[in-house]
C-alpha cells in the first residue's frame, strides 16, 4: 500500500481536523509500505491571501503533525510547493480535463451558487490535487468524506490519460474516513474554521476551558433525562473518553438530574490530558526550528525523487520529452 494525503494550512488544527483526518493519516503510516504526507500550501493559496499567515500556518502544520505522532522515519513529510514536478504534471493533466468535470466540483459550484466570482485556481483545484496523488504512484488516499469527489476526478483524469497515451498512472483509491467521526463545533454545527466554532488541538488549556464552557446546550431543566445520542456536548466528550467513561456519562444523561457545567468540566479535563504528551512534544519541537527544516528538506528531496520519475514517464508518453 502506498499512502498519500495532504492537508491545507488554512489555520491551526482543530478537533475536527484531528479526529476526522490527522489521526487516521498517522495510524496508516504503520500499515503502509510507503506513506507521503504533505502540507497543501498551493491549495491553501486559493483562500489564504495573507503571506505571513500562509507561511506561519505551514510551519505550524509541520510542527503539529510531528508532535501528534507523524514519524519522519516512517513517513515522508513535505510541503507541496517544494515539489515543483507536481505543478508541471498538473498542466499535463489539465490539457485533457473536460470543463464540465470541473464545473460539477462542489468547491467551485458552491461559490458560483453564492454569486461570488471564482478564480481559475479554485476552478482547477481538483486537477492539482490529482497531480498530487498521481505523482507518487499512490494507491490509497485517506481523506474526509468532503474530498471523495476530488478523488473521483483524479481517477477520471488518470483513466483518460492512460486510455489516450497508454498505461502511465497508478489508479488510486480513496479511503474515506468514517463519517461518524464528524465533529460538532461549540454551536453544534459541524466544526469548521469557516463557522468560527472550533476548539483547537494546541489551544492553551486555560483558554480551552473557557471555550468549552461556551458550548451551546439546551435549556431543559436539570432533572429532565436527556438523550446522549443527539447531544453534541456528549459527542465531544465521547471523542476523548474511554469505554467505561462513555457508558457512565450516557447513563448520567439518561437519568437526568445533572448540570451541563459538570459535563463541560469533565470534557475539558479529558481533552487537556488527551493532548498533553503532544503538547509537550510540540514545545520541544518549537525550540528546534533546524530539526523541522531538516525534516521538511529531507521529505521534499525524497518526494521530488519519486515525482520526477513519474513526471518523466508522463512527459515521454505524451510527447513533450523524447
Ligand atoms: P475546515 O472546515 O475547518 O476549513 P478543512 O476543510 O481544512 O477544515 O479540513 C481538513 C480535513 O479535516 C478534511 O479532510 C475534513 O474532512 C476534516 N474535517 C474538518 N472538519 C471536520 C469535522 N468537523 N469533523 C470531521 N472531520 C473534519
Ligand atoms: N484538498 C484537500 C483538503 O482540503 C487537501 C489535499 C490537497 C489533498 N491535495 C491532496 C488530500 C491530495 C489528499 C490528496 O482536505
234 lies in the same domain as 123: no
Residues 41, 44, 47, CA angle at the centre, nearest 5°?
155
Residues 32, 34, 37, CA angle at the centre, nearest 5°?
100
Which mutation among 13, 16, 174 tests ligand 1's pocket best, with the greatest number of atoms within 8 A of CB? 16
Please provide the size of the chain in residues: 322
241 lies in the same domain as 178: no
Give the mean pLDDT of 47-72.
Answer: 98
Spatial separation of the C-alpha atoms in residues 321 and 317, rounded to whole Å: 8
Q: Tell me phi and psi for residue 176, to 5 degrees.
A: -75, 125
Q: Which of 191, 260, 190 is nearest to 221 (CA)?
A: 260
9 lines ligand 2 (CB under 6 A): no
**How much is the pLDDT for 164?**
97
pLDDT tens by residue, 139-154? 999 998 889 999 999 9
Residues 6+ apart with CB under 8 A from 315: 92, 321
Residues 6+ apart with CB under 8 A from 285: 63, 66, 67, 291, 292
Least confident among 31-40, 170-179, 234-243, 244-253: 170-179
Question: Would residue 192 count as lying in a domain?
Answer: no
**How much is the pLDDT for 181?**
65
**How much is the pLDDT for 155?**
98
Nearest CA to ligand 2 atom 8: 6
255 lies in the same domain as 297: no
79 lies in the same domain as 168: yes
| CA contacts within 13 A on the Cβ side of 299 | 28
Query: Is the confidence at residue 222, as pLDDT, over 90?
Result: no
CATH number at residue 90: 3.40.50.620
172 lies in the same domain as 229: no
Q: Report how many domains make up the chain.
A: 2
**How much is the pLDDT for 200?**
98
**How much is the pLDDT for 10?**
97
216 is catalytic: no
Q: Which cell goes with 299?
A: 521529505
43 lies in the same domain as 170: yes
292 lies in the same domain as 264: no
Domain range enclosing 226? 203-274
Helix, strand or coil, per DSSP, at residue 99: helix
Question: Would residue 74 count as lying in a domain?
Answer: yes
Confidence of residue 76 (pLDDT cuts 50, 70, 90): very high
**How much is the pLDDT for 151?**
97
Query: Is the confidence at residue 243, as pLDDT, over 90?
Result: yes
Spatial separation of the C-alpha atoms in residues 15 and 50, rounded to whole Å: 24
Q: What is the distance in A from the centroid of ligand 2 to the CA of 130?
A: 9
pLDDT tens by residue, 99-111? 999 999 998 999 8
Q: Which cell goes with 281?
A: 512534544
Question: Would residue 190 count as lying in a domain?
Answer: no
**How much is the pLDDT for 264?**
97
Q: Which of 100, 127, 103, 115 is nearest to 46 (CA)?
A: 127
Q: Where are the alpha helices (DSSP H) in the chain?
A: 15-17, 23-31, 41-44, 51-67, 84-94, 99-103, 106-113, 120-123, 125-134, 148-165, 205-213, 232-240, 243-255, 260-274, 276-286, 289-318
Confidence of residue 177 (pLDDT cuts 50, 70, 90): confident
25 lies in the same domain as 163: yes
Query: Is the confidence at residue 28, as pLDDT, over 70?
Result: yes
133 lies in the same domain as 21: yes
Q: What is the distance in A from the centroid of ligand 1 to the CA of 73?
A: 26
* C-beta of residue 307 within 8 angstroms of C-beta of residue 90: no
**How much is the pLDDT for 178?**
78
Question: Would residue 143 count as lying in a domain?
Answer: yes
Q: Which cell goes with 261?
A: 457545567
Question: Would residue 66 count as lying in a domain?
Answer: yes
pTM score of the predicted model? 0.96
Confidence of residue 187 (pLDDT cuts 50, 70, 90): very high
53 lies in the same domain as 151: yes
Query: Is the confidence at residue 126, as pLDDT, over 70?
Result: yes
10 lines ligand 2 (CB under 6 A): no
42 lines ligand 2 (CB under 6 A): no
CATH number at residue 245: 1.10.240.10
101 lies in the same domain as 64: yes
**How much is the pLDDT for 69?**
98
Spatial separation of the C-alpha atoms in residues 218 and 141, rounded to whole Å: 39
**How much is the pLDDT for 1?**
95
Q: What is the distance in A from the centroid of ligand 2 to the CA of 30?
A: 21
pLDDT tens by residue, 253-300? 999 998 999 999 999 999 999 999 999 999 999 999 999 999 999 999
Amino acid at each position: 500500500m502506498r499512502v498519500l494525503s495532504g492537508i491545507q494550512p488554512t489555520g491551526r488544527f482543530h478537533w475536527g481536523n484531528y479526529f476526522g483526518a490527522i489521526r487516521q493519516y498517522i495510524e496508516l503510516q504503520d500499515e503502509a509500505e510507503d506513506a507521503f504526507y504533505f502540507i497543501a500550501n498551493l491549495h491553501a493559496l486559493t483562500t489564504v491571501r495573507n503571506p505571513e499567515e500562509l507561511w506561519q500556518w505551514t510551519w505550524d502544520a509541520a510542527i503539529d503533525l510531528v508532535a501528534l505522532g507523524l514519524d519522519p522515519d516512517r513517513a515522508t513529510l513535505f510541503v507541496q510547493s517544494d515539489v515543483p514536478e507536481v505543478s508541471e504534471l498538473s498542466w499535463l493533466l489539465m490539457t485533457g480535463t473536460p470543463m464540465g468535470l470541473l464545473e460539477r466540483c462542489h468547491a467551485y459550484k458552491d461559490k458560483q451558487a453564492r454569486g461570488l466570482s471564482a478564480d481559475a485556481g479554485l476552478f482547477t483545484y481538483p486537477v492539482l490535487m490529482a497531480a498530487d496523488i498521481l505523482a507518487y504512484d499512490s494507491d490509497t488516499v485517506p481523506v474526509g468524506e468532503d474530498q471523495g469527489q476530488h478523488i473521483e476526478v483524479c481517477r477520471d483524469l488518470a483513466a483518460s490519460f492512460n486510455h489516450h497515451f497508454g498505461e502511465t498512472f497508478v489508479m488510486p483509491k480513496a479511503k474515506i474516513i468514517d463519517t461518524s467521526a464528524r465533529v460538532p463545533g461549540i454551536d453544534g454545527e459541524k466544526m469548521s474554521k469557516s463557522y468560527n466554532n472550533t476548539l483547537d488541538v494546541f489551544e492553551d488549556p486555560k483558554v480551552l476551558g473557557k471555550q468549552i464552557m461556551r458550548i451551546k446546550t439546551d435549556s431543559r431543566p436539570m432533572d429532565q433525562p436527556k438523550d446522549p445520542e443527539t447531544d453534541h456536548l456528549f459527542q465531544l466528550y465521547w471523542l476523548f473518553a474511554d469505554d467505561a467513561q462513555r457508558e457512565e456519562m450516557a447513563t448520567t444523561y439518561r437519568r437526568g438530574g445533572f448540570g451541563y457545567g459538570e459535563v463541560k468540566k469533565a470534557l475539558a479535563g479529558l481533552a487537556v490530558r488527551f493532548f498533553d504528551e503532544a503538547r509537550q512534544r510540540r514545545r520541544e519541537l518549537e525550540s528546534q526550528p533546524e530539526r523541522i527544516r531538516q525534516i521538511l528538506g529531507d521529505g521534499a528531496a525524497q518526494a521530488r525523487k519519486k515525482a520526477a520519475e513519474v513526471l518523466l514517464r508522463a512527459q515521454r508518453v505524451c510527447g513533450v520529452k523524447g
